[in-house]
A and B are shown apart, each in its own frame.
Chain A
Amino acid sequence: MINCSLKALGQMLAKKQVSSVELTQEFLNRIDTLNPEINAYIALDKNKSLAQAKAADIRIAAGSAAPLTGIPIAQKDIFCATGWKTTCGSKMLANFVAPYDAHVISQFDAAGAVNLGKTNMDEFAMGSSNETSYFGGVKNPWDFTRVPGGSSGGSAAAVAARMCAAATGTDTGGSIRQPASLCGFTGLKPTYGVVSRYGMIAFASSLDQAGPMAKSAEDCALMMNVMAGFDERDSTSLQRDKEDYTRDLNKPLNGLRVGLPKEFFADGLDANVAKVVETAIAEYKKLGAEIVEISLPNTGLSIPVYYVLAPAEASSNLSRYDGVRYGHRAAEYTDLMDMYCKSRAEGFGAEVKRRILIGTYVLSAGYYDAYYLKAQQIRRLIAQDFEEAFKHCDVIMGPAAPSTAFKAGEKVDDPVAMYLQDIYTISTNLAGLPGMSIPAGFSAGSDGKALPVGLQIIGNYFDEARMLNVAHQYQQVTDWHTRMPELNTLKEVA
């Protein structure tokens, strides 16, 4: 049951082959077994989850079920959910119980889905390995010595280890796609503005976007049907008609033009990852796609630009944590300034502080033009690269991450090396484009364990339905997305 698609689970619930309470309990049992080792969840509330499941069973019995009614979903701990501890992976919010619901949470509630728990993440979504979390790292279910990627590392491990039916994530520079690649599942970052940011704790507001993390493209499409839509409470939410993201899943791919940016296959890409990605692209040729070579010449600049813009926005967004109205306040302080400085020094972890300091610096008097304005200008060049590329192709493909999952601790003391993890994902955030990562195969790690590799699919603005179609068709002729890590040994031990 844990490996069933959302559609199959929905059918089983509809036919009363299983109840939502039983399904939820099954996942909670699996979480009990696996979570002490994997640390994917940082907040569980079985009574709350089961109460939602009971309500879902009543709704199903009444014949008013929606597609995700009764399905247990893991929520990244960046989304405020009333009565749930919402920490954003930070000591700053370690005791924060959200007094309201994020739009995404309200949407899942309205759909009758079950909130299975809150998942671990890099502190304030700043990281690519989940190692900056105040609540400890998350283990990659494929190899416990390796990271799951980040920042949505808990959701990633939960999906990969089948500790939920599906999960939510957020992606500011690659935080859905890079973990999807490293943990071997399907993750989608929608076009900026498609999913409301209301109640989603802000990191870099012009880049943050929530999206689904699930076992297949079809599952992601069903999740998108719940998550996407206009919300007036988010000033950058886009006013567009409601879409059915499953509508194009079954279209054939004949004549699809796939652009391969030469910059995505240059130095820095692991040779084994390149091989897997090339094999996946060959599969697309068999499906009728036409391969076009394209160029995104400013790809390399996306990292420097991002590490100006994202910290600048973060330094502003995180100024709200001052120890006055919520969050951590220092135990001892002399005056107001001392209270601010100590509360923030104690409440934030090292990486978050670094980014706040970088952001403060690039926005400070005398440096604004050289850093912030310059970065915004190059951001336009990066967006223009994509605009030009999409004149020649329908979707862009390449690797989602430069390597397979790396060892825990390997990059933790080298921020610049960690930042390079997002070389293939950041440019789409800067341009505001949708991107996804789908499982494309495996590559043997240094110690022989098979590690998943993701294929990235980047689409034009609002082209999510087509991207999901492109991913779904591949998943009809391959079975990489059905593979799951061998966790039986752990179960026996437990």
Chain B
Amino acid sequence: MALSIEDIKKIAHLARIEVSESDAAATLTKLTGILGLIEQMQAVDTKGIAPMSHSQDVVQRLREDVVTKTNQREAFQKVAPVLGNGSTDQAVDSGLYLVPKVIE
């Protein structure tokens, strides 16, 4: 199926990646080429073949329901990004991460 500029914008929105008009046009060309390559799959008859998601036939291990991880909030908050919008502070406050307001 041929992709359009509108498709690119829709996919980019789903992927949460901003694309400019010129980016979208360039991306369309490249993705069309890649999808052309992928299209070769359609010639194969795969009726009745079980999909393979993993090379080893293993199941998820279970473990005892006990705490195994220590609290590393401070270490993790140290690598928080800069807040932005004019502030050079880290986007953290009282052990929480700061993001734009989502609830009025």
Interface residues of A (CB under 8 A from B): 95-97, 99-100, 192-193, 206, 232, 235-236, 238-239, 300-301, 303-305, 307-308, 315, 319, 322-345, 348, 353-354, 356-358, 360-362, 364, 370-371, 373-381, 383, 414-416, 419, 430-433, 461
Contact = CB atoms under 8 A, between A and B. Distances in A.
Interface string B17-38: 1110000000100110111111
Contact of B63 (A96, A232, A315, A343): A232
A327 B81 contact: yes
Contacts of A362: 38
Given A99-B79, A236-B54, A325-B80, A380 B34 contact: no
Given A97-B79, A327-B81, A376 B41 contact: no
B33 to A, nearest CB: 5
B56 A378 contact: no
Given A325-B79, A362-B38, 13 more contacts: A99-B75, A232-B63, A325-B80, A325-B81, A328-B81, A331-B82, A332-B84, A333-B85, A334-B100, A341-B13, A419-B34, A432-B56, A433-B55
A329 B18 contact: no
A304 B84 contact: no
Contacts of A371: 38, 41
Contact of B16 (A341, A370, A461): A341
Contacts of A370: 42
- Label chain A's interface by main secondary structure: helix
Interface residues of B, number: 56
B15 A373 contact: no
Given A333-B85, A376-B53, A361 B19 contact: no
B50 A377 contact: yes
Contact of A358 (B19, B34, B51, B60): B34
Given A354-B27, A357-B31, A99 B72 contact: yes
A236 B61 CA distance: 9
B100 A235 contact: no
Interface string B76-101: 10111111110000010000010111
B17 A301 contact: no
Contacts of B67: none
A338 B60 CA distance: 37
Nearest to B87: A331
A301 B18 CA distance: 32
Contacts of B61: 232, 235, 239
Nearest to B76: A99
B101 to A, nearest CB: 8
Contact of A383 (B36, B52, B102): B52
A341 B100 contact: no
Nearest to B26: A350
A319 B16 CA distance: 9
A361 B11 contact: yes
Contacts of B3: 361
B19 to A, nearest CB: 7
A99 B74 CA distance: 10
B56 A348 contact: no
Contact of B33 (A96, A415, A433): A415
* Of A300, A333, A433, most B-chain CB atoms within 10 Å: A333
Given A304-B41, A416-B33, A364 B14 contact: yes
A400 B40 CA distance: 23
Given A307-B34, A336-B100, A415-B34, A373 B51 contact: yes
Nearest to A337: B16
Nearest to B48: A377
Identify the 8 closest CB pairs spanning chains A and B, nearest first. Answer: A432-B55, A376-B51, A329-B81, A377-B46, A380-B52, A345-B18, A341-B18, A99-B75
* Of B18, B46, B56, B82, most A-chain CB atoms within 10 Å: B18
B41 A206 contact: no
A357 B41 contact: no
Given A304-B37, A345-B18, A381 B84 contact: no
Contacts of A329: 81-84, 91
A315 B55 contact: no
Contacts of B102: 335-336
B12 interface: yes
A335 B102 CA distance: 8
A416 B72 contact: no
A92 to B, nearest CB: 10
Contacts of B79: 95-97, 99, 325-326
17 contacts: A99-B72, A206-B55, A235-B61, A236-B58, A300-B40, A303-B37, A304-B41, A315-B15, A324-B97, A326-B76, A328-B81, A329-B81, A339-B100, A345-B17, A377-B51, A380-B49, A381-B46
A332 B18 contact: no
Contact of A326 (B40, B60, B80): B80
